[in-house]
Amino acid sequence: AQIAASEKVFAQYTGNAGGAQTADTTNIDFTTKVSDSHGAWNGTTFTAPRPGWYNVLASTIITSAINTNMFIWINGVKKFNTNLSVSTQAHSHSGGAYLNAGDTLTIRSDSNCTLSNSAINHWIAITSQGN
């Protein structure tokens, strides 16, 4: 069914498998559903159900004492730094993008690292704006 431009889209997930991330390759996973209005998140990828601006808020924590940046990737292309350098402390990220219906959005680290498996410190929330 077609989604109306005025219809709000939202997804929130927590936790992860504590997996190893390969720089600019591995999509960060968020595995436990809190809410998902349109089933748009599949564990590692958000697929826009309608065109519009989407805000992305997230928090990640890694196990090793390195600094890495988290980036928003759209349709497999690195697009935006989420304006955060991550270390062994939990850090929040924010960003957003205009997506057409069917466009995909993922989050990836620009360094090799391992995620900490923490639902409290590891989460993502994606919400749509009006048209």
Q: What is the pLDDT of residues 74-128, one digit of tens each?
A: 999 998 776 555 556 666 777 889 999 999 999 998 889 888 887 788 889 999 9
Which pairs from 33-40 meet CB under 8 Å and 24+ separation? 34/123, 35/10, 35/11, 36/10, 36/11, 36/12, 37/8, 37/9, 37/10, 37/11, 38/3, 38/9, 38/11, 40/9, 40/11, 40/126
- What is the SS3 assignment for 63? coil
Q: Residue 2: pLDDT band by 50, 70, 90 thresholds?
A: low
Q: What is the pLDDT of residues 32-65, one digit of tens each?
A: 999 999 999 999 999 999 999 999 988 888 887 7
